[in-house]
Amino acid sequence: MELLLQLAVCVLLSRMISAEEIAENTSFIATKEWKEIKEGQGIPAGLHVRINLQTGKKEAKLITDNEEQLNAEQTNDESKNSNALITIYDSVDEEELKNSSRLRNSSEQLAIEHNSSEIEKIKNDYKSYKELRKTYEGMRKHFKTDAEIIVRLIEEFGDVITYNKQNDQSRLNAQLKILTNFNYLMSQYDNALTFVDQGGLERILLPLVVNQTHLSLKVEAMRVLGAMAQNNPKVQVKVYEKNFGPYLTQILLSSSNTEELSSALYALGSLLRKFPHAQQKILSTSGTQALVSLLGKDCELKIKAKAITLISDVVVEKQLIVINDDPVAAAQYAELNFPERLKDNWYCQTTDKLMTSYYHEFLKAPDLLEYFIHALESTEPFCNRIWGSSEQLYYTLNALQFEHGKSNNEYCNEVADLLRDITKKIRKYFKEL
């Protein structure tokens, strides 16, 4: 009986101890000294809490009267400065006061120096945001797309011809201005198509290229034609269908004017490049003759450089098709036998004579010489026998190589290297013969 009584007492005491531990763990009794906050213990509001950096444990204590006063002062300061643009400190350096006073005096002096009329002028020169927005809204009403501008220019060109028959000079200036605008617009792919769709080829360019006697108008028209056909297959087809090719080749055969020849070459090159059907039809008739004739014509060397570059480009274009083994493209170029047509029109002999005749010009113009070297390189396979038998050509190329090779100019040295390569090929046949 006594044993049972002792056991009951022990159980009761253990429960009381556990309850005290739980109470101690769940309720934190704060004092004026720092006291550790145990795991899971809740703390009342309004205590000063910190983490002891030495032990890494949380501690709390009651806030003293001095700490309450300091917090109140800080809160007061914050509320005073909350609406201020600049915080003003209690202590200001005397030097800062002097600087501030000096700045204020200088600003007042500036205000005095500018009288009211000057200030009014400044106000008139600069517009407010509202005024600027109003101006912009007015401008937006006059904005036009490129297509709308092209349609308007075509109509204006027709009006100039119809209503301005008296003053030839004013009509000429108006037409040139419109063509210049077209030249700028035609570099855009879609703009060129819009021009074609609106009848610009037959209404403006074809009459100017075929019938125009005024040189400046014809030149500008061919520039527009070249700009719109360049790298634009759809426009190339339309230009070809309007039969521009024969007219351009006729200009190359008959003209001696540098600007007319240059613009006609530009237009013809834009039409022919990457267009095998046009190459076949145009170069099989008078096209090849026109290009070769420029090499022997009495004209500027830069015109000859453009002509031989176009010849070289057409030759290389077909060579690349064969190398790339593209059966579809090869079928398109199958009928084009440009090298044979070049040989029939004495291209190899004409080039031989040109290179030897312009020796001194090539010494002064290595940039133009480079165009001719590249053309010799691409057309050498079907001209090697004729060039290999020409001692004068061989010695001319050697002399040019020597002169450009000893130059201090790096570009001239590169041209000399190109000359060395083509001379080696010609020398091979020269020795054989």
CATH number for position 233: 1.25.10.10
Q: Are residues 318 and 417 in the same domain?
A: yes
Percent of the chain clearing pLDDT 70 (strictly above): 76
Residue 177 scores a pLDDT above 90:
yes
What mean pLDDT is reported for the chain?
A: 82
Q: Are residues 317 and 211 in the same domain?
A: no
Residue 357 scores a pLDDT above 50:
yes
Q: Which two tokens stand for residue 386?
A: 């004729």
Q: Are residues 264 and 312 in the same domain?
A: no
pTM of this prediction? 0.67
Specify the amino acid at residue 219.
V
Q: What is the largest CA-CA distance in the chain?
A: 145
| Cβ-based neighbour number of residue 87 at 10 Å | 8
* Lowest-confidence segment of 116-130, 193-207, 211-225 by average pLDDT: 116-130
Yes or no: say if 357 and 372 are a contact pair by the CB < 8 Å rule: no
Q: Are residues 252 and 312 in the same domain?
A: no
Q: Which two tokens stand for residue 167?
A: 């003053």
Q: Are residues 135 and 267 in the same domain?
A: yes
Sign of the Cα pseudo-torsion (10, 11, 16, 20, in order): positive
Domains in the chain, number: 2
pLDDT at 84: 46
Q: Are residues 137 and 266 in the same domain?
A: yes
pLDDT at 123: 64
Q: Are residues 144 and 251 in the same domain?
A: yes
Would you give the distance in Å from CA 25 to the centre of its chain? 74
Domain boundary pick from 230, 250, 272: 272
pLDDT at 71: 59
Yes or no: say if 365 and 358 are a contact pair by the CB < 8 Å rule: no
Percent of the chain clearing pLDDT 90 (strictly above): 51
pLDDT at 86: 44
Which residues are within 8 A (CB) of 409 and not within 5 positions of it... i.e. 6 or more apart?
Answer: 366
**Burial class (CB within 10 angstroms; exposed 0-12, middle 13-18, buried 19+) of 7:** exposed
Mean pLDDT over residues 209-218, rounded?
90
pLDDT at 91: 47
pLDDT at 90: 46
Q: Are residues 137 and 259 in the same domain?
A: yes
Q: Is residue 76 part of a domain?
A: no
Yes or no: say if 153 and 178 are a contact pair by the CB < 8 Å rule: yes
Q: Are residues 222 and 139 in the same domain?
A: yes
- Domain extent, residue 358, equals 302-432
Mean pLDDT over residues 251-272, rounded?
95
Q: Is residue 191 part of a domain?
A: yes
Q: Are residues 134 and 267 in the same domain?
A: yes
Residue 390 scores a pLDDT above 80:
yes
Q: Which residue has the higher pLDDT, 66 or 322?
A: 322
pLDDT at 42: 77
Q: How far apart are CA 75 and CA 81, in angstroms?
A: 10
Q: Is residue 69 part of a domain?
A: no
Q: Is residue 56 part of a domain?
A: no
Which residues are within 8 A (CB) of 183 and not within 5 positions of it... i.e. 6 or more apart?
Answer: 220, 223, 224, 227
- Within 59-143, where are the H helices? 65-81, 94-113, 116-125, 129-140
pLDDT at 30: 80
pLDDT at 75: 56
Confidence class for position 321, pLDDT limits 50, 70, 90: confident
Q: Is residue 361 part of a domain?
A: yes
**277-287 per-position pLDDT tens digit:** 999 999 988 99
Q: Which residue has the higher pLDDT, 39 or 255?
A: 255
Strand partners, 49: 60
Which DSSP state fits 35? E
Q: Are residues 255 and 309 in the same domain?
A: no
